[in-house]
Amino acid sequence: MSKKTIRIIGSLVILTILIFITSTIIIPKLKPEEEKNSEQDADEKTKQVKATPVLVEAAPAFRSELIIRISASGQTEAIRHLTICPKIGGEIAGLPVREGQFVNKGDLLIRLDDAESQLELADARNNLLTARGEYEIKKIDRKTLHQLIDSTATQKYLRSQTE
């Protein structure tokens, strides 16, 4: 039996004892004498009428679970409503949160399959490396072209000077 159930039963027993004590001892002492006498007369008359014996059984006390079934109808509402709008779509790879579980701000709710995004990232990195290589080649080719142009112009200038 749970501690909560034991506390509830104990509270009910104490409440019953207090009601009994109040109704049999305290309240009669507060009544005026005339009412007491009339009540005593009424009690004596009822005792005479109810003089038949009653069978009483006693049983030892034992601990057990108190099972109370309650059925009720109604509506439930969430404390807060939240609409999830992901920035990207995809296939769900994992759900680390169960329905009804409390979550905190920043907790991971859904894990998406990122295989396609990883392939796109690898493709973008390859394109970046290719573009950098082509840029370096063009830079070298341009330098070489300028050197050739400069050397040709210098040769023409030198020829014109010597003629």
What band does 39 get if pLDDT is binned at 50, 70 and 90?
low
**Do 65 and 5 form a contact (C-beta atoms < 8 A)?**
yes
pLDDT value of position 24: 75
The single-letter DSSP state of residue 97 is S
pLDDT value of position 37: 57
CB neighbour list of residue 32: distance below 8 Å, 6 or more residues apart:
none
pLDDT value of position 128: 93
Average pLDDT of span 146-154: 68
Higher pLDDT, 142 or 92: 92
Question: How far does CA 147 lie from the centroid of its chain?
Answer: 71
Q: 111: which strand partners?
A: 94
What band does 34 get if pLDDT is binned at 50, 70 and 90?
low
Average pLDDT of span 102-116: 87
Mean pLDDT of the chain: 78
pLDDT tens digits for 112-141?
Answer: 888 888 999 999 999 999 999 888 888 777
Q: What are the C-alpha distances in Å from 57 to residues 12, 54, 114?
A: 22, 10, 73
User: pLDDT exceeding 90 applies to what percent of the chain?
Assistant: 8
pLDDT tens digits for 56-77?
Answer: 788 888 888 888 888 888 888 8
pLDDT at 44 > cutoff 70: no
pTM (two decimals): 0.34
Geometric angle at alpha carbon 103, from 102 and 106, rounded to 5°: 175
Q: What are the C-alpha distances in Å from 33 to residues 22, 36, 39?
A: 18, 5, 10
